């Protein structure tokens, strides 16, 4: 079972000719609304990749809450542990340019008030706990400790990167997934070099898998003395918004099912590439059969 402790948002998306610079206004012809939030995105992605998934988090008492949960409810994600709190739900404001690149501003809403105590009774030594960076880091640290007490595996995607010392909790993390910019930020906090290979060599251990996503350049990873490099399948990118979450969801689903690391990385890379071919962070999350079909083609 995969348990996700993380954010739930509603994404408001505008297609623009180019992303705005500081102080600049850029107009788009229309807007679209999509359920989002990195916690919700990864929960849905893992579910579509074939894993049984529950989500622990919160929405607000507003019209956005039910909309933010709609895709997960339809997909079969267990939402019994999602709480409705007074106040606003989380919102993300996303601009997407003609090349599929994005710019995102997030209003945390109820996500700022989640509590790791809600995880009690929802974890066992056969489970995987997935964490991101859109809920308070204090609660993320407590969630890691809760998983450690239960014997659950911890899968952490620190996006956005915490603005405080992340090292004390890292010993209890089984899988760490970051992109190139997050590697630079975390490396600076740790006082080490910011190159992906150096980062992997520093943090990968016999018990911790470290994965660095490189966009179109694929994936690098290290675990138990082994090093991996997986190419990203070539696709026509429409929107990269949900690619990282699709990668994490599919990778976590594969690892939770006992899939060997190399094959799991291929499934993650396939899911991330497929997610770039459609608009919206959740609507673009691919299904298990499509992930496996494309992963089979990665050498």
> Which sign does the torsion angle of CA 123, 78, 1, 57 carry?
negative
Give the 3-state secondary structure percentages of the chain, helix then strand then coil, rounded to 5: 35, 25, 40
Q: Which two tokens stand for residue 299?
A: 């050498």
- In the residue annotation, 256 being an active-site residue is answered as no
- Locus of tokens 């894993």: 51
Give the pairing of strands 2-5 and 128-131: parallel
Query: What distance in Å separates the CA atoms of residue 47 and residue 54, rounded to the nearest whole number?
Result: 9
Q: Output Rg (C-alpha) for the chain, integer angstroms.
A: 18
Which one is catalytic: 11, 78, 245, 256?
A: 245
Query: What distance in Å separates the CA atoms of residue 245 and residue 283, rounded to the nearest whole number?
Result: 12
Which DSSP string do the residues of 99-144 spell out, in sequence order? TS-EEEEEE-GGGGG--GGGGTTS--TT-EEEE-SSS-HHHHHHHH
Cα→Cα distances 281→71, 72, 165, Å: 11, 12, 29
> Cβ contacts of residue 256 below 8 Å, gap of 6+?
1, 2, 46, 51, 127, 128, 153
Residue 241 phi, psi (nearest 5)? -50, -45
The helix-helix angle for 261-275 and 288-295 (nearest 10°) equals 110
**Catalytic residue positions, numbered:** 245
């Amino acid at each position: 079972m995969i348990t996700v402790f993380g954010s739930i948002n509603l994404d408001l998306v505008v297609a623009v000719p180019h992303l705005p610079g500081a102080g600049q206004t850029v107009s788009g012809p229309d807007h679209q609304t999509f359920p989002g939030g990195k916690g919700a995105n990864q929960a849905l992605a893992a579910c579509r990749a074939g894993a049984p998934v529950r989500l622990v988090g919160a929405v607000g008492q507003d019209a956005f809450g039910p909309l933010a949960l709609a895709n997960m409810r339809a997909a079969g994600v267990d939402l019994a542990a999602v709480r409705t709190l007074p106040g606003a739900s989380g919102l993300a404001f996303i601009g997407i340019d003609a090349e599929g690149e994005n710019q995102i501003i997030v209003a945390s809403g109820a996500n700022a008030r989640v509590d790791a105590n809600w995880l009690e009774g929802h974890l066992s030594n056969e489970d995987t706990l997935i964490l991101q960076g859109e809920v308070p880091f204090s609660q993320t640290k407590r969630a890691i400790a809760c998983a450690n007490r239960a014997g659950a595996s911890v899968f952490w995607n620190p996006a956005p990167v915490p603005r405080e010392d992340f090292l004390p909790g890292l010993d209890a993390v089984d899988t760490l997934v970051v992109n190139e910019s997050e590697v630079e930020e975390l490396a600076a906090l740790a006082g080490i070099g910011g190159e992906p290979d150096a980062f992997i060599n520093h943090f990968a251990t016999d018990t911790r898998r470290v994965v660095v996503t490189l966009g179109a350049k694929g994936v690098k990873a290290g675990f138990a003395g082994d090093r991996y490099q997986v190419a990203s399948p070539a696709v026509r990118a429409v929107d990269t918004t949900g690619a990282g979450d699709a990668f994490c969801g599919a990778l976590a689903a594969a690892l939770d099912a006992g899939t060997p690391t190399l094959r799991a990385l291929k499934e993650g890379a396939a899911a991330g590439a497929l997610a770039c071919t459609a608009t919206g962070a959740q609507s673009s999350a691919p299904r298990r059969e499509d992930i496996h079909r494309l992963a089979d083609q990665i050498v």
